[in-house]
Structure 1
């Protein structure tokens, strides 16, 4: 069968570009039915110098390889949705990228051989979060790590009154900088810095953490079929943010709903060691 492989290398990273070139050369030399395509930024790199495509056009490919840190993989996941992703780790922690650069060529060969033999790849499904207005007038891009709703700014005088409801039942209400809803994947990111709990990536759960609340409730872990509603008031403006990038300006009073998105992210290849990753955080 024909196999389409996309390769996205971290920008301004010579190691990532060199590895991308090695993988391209391997795929084009050893496989007749494999087409290897890089993203536009990678294609402009001195080590590559070939035409590329927008990362979003790799949605629906048989495999996309992300070379860099967790931030690179988050970007790739946002663009390609449920397309299988292999993460090659050039960062420090690597909760999402499990493959060391020296093992990347072998892992890619194994995956492409499996694709040619079976026509598909199976991997670990990672839930994403969908945030939208209560009236469904707008929807943010799905978040692999977290959705944050906060007032005009962080810090003194910048918060808002936030009412939190879980499946229609009020959990907390009061003045806070904001509220953060995270996946287990995102529990080690922004959630952790706000005092939220660590949650094993295999758990079917969502994490609800208030941010600098005047009279806050403890962080809450809920099931993935839970609908969380966040109502913002007593502020001139507020924001809903998906994975720190997709931002929506809010005009309080207003309500944001957060649920699990329909399409998860699929990670293929070996999985990262969660405990080893925690040790690197310290």
Structure 2
């Protein structure tokens, strides 16, 4: 019998779903589970993946939120059979190192994206270096995003960035409301690339950095790379995995 740990967001819908599943299937602590079932929306799924990344159990999400791109449809019945038939996707997060104006280094991981955003009334000025080579001396924009394939349909897509197939070894570098170069939409980079942003005129044009919502204010340098040492295992119902969802999203 599959040992299940059930984790749920604080919403009444998710909590009620948790009570129903635990009553029907029982539960064990996440450390002892074969599978972790996450009940909520995409935000809670990211929270669960970050919180359980040191555990061997994969995560199977069921949508009790709004969009649920990383989630499966919620159904109380047939959970054991769905878990048995589920397909697995393995994704690596991004590692962000942000250096503040005060010299503090802050590290964080991002499953979806690392974003730099202006924190004042004026547009940010950023210098972009890829693998040690300056690729853009000055980007004037509201910000910039480095997105994984799994995160390419989130903030990246809202900023008109490309949707990336989950199996592609690339990252999306996307500008947020670029002013100069005019209408620059970004670039596709190898998954192995290290991207460095240096904030120009940082005092006049303050910038904050975020890794899946973990914010650092007043940054002067942000370095982003793929963290291959960390693997997140996500389970999906057959025919509804990330690959299919990414393709389907492009035709809606």
TM-score class, shorter: 0.7 to 0.9
What is the 5 A alignment of 1:61-76?
Answer: 61-76=33-48
After superposition, residues 93-112 of structure 1 pair within 5 angstroms as: 93-98=67-72, 100-102=73-75, 104-108=76-80, 111=83
Residue 187 of structure 1 corresponds to which residue in structure 2? 152
Following superposition of structure 1 onto structure 2, how do residues 3-22 of structure 1 map, counting pairs within 5 Å?
A: 5-14=4-13, 16-22=14-20
Query: Aligned residue for 2:105?
Result: 138
2:25 to 27, 31, 46: 27
Q: Is the 8 A contact 1:27 1:36 kept in 2?
A: no
**Larger deviation, residues 172-181 vs 3-12:** 3-12
Match of residue 258 from structure 1: 224
- The residue that corresponds to 2:207 in the other structure is 238
CA deviations on 1:81-123 (whole Å, 9 max, x unpaired) are 154100112344332112x222x54234564x79xxxxxx982
Taking the TM superposition and a 5 Å limit, the aligned residue runs for 1:96-245 are 96-98=70-72, 100-102=73-75, 104-108=76-80, 111=83, 123-133=88-98, 138-153=105-120, 157-172=121-136, 173-216=138-181, 217-236=184-203, 237-243=206-212, 245=213
Separation in 1, partners of 2:190, 2:32: 29
- Structure 2 distance, partners of 1:238, 1:60, is 42
TM-score by length of structure 1 reads 0.73
User: Aligned-residue CA RMSD in angstroms?
Assistant: 2.9
Against the structure 1 CA distance between its residues 264 and 224, is the aligned structure 2 distance closer, same or farther, given a 3 Å change threshold?
same
Q: Which runs of 5+ in 1 are unaligned?
A: 29-34, 38-57, 115-120
Work out the number of aligned pairs and report it: 238
1:36 and 2:7 equivalent? no
Please say if residues 70 and 94 of structure 1, whose CA atoms lie closer than 8 Å, have aligned partners that are also in contact. yes
Is the radius of gyration larger for structure 1 or structure 2? 1
Counterpart position of 1:32: none
Higher normalized strand content (fraction of residues): 2
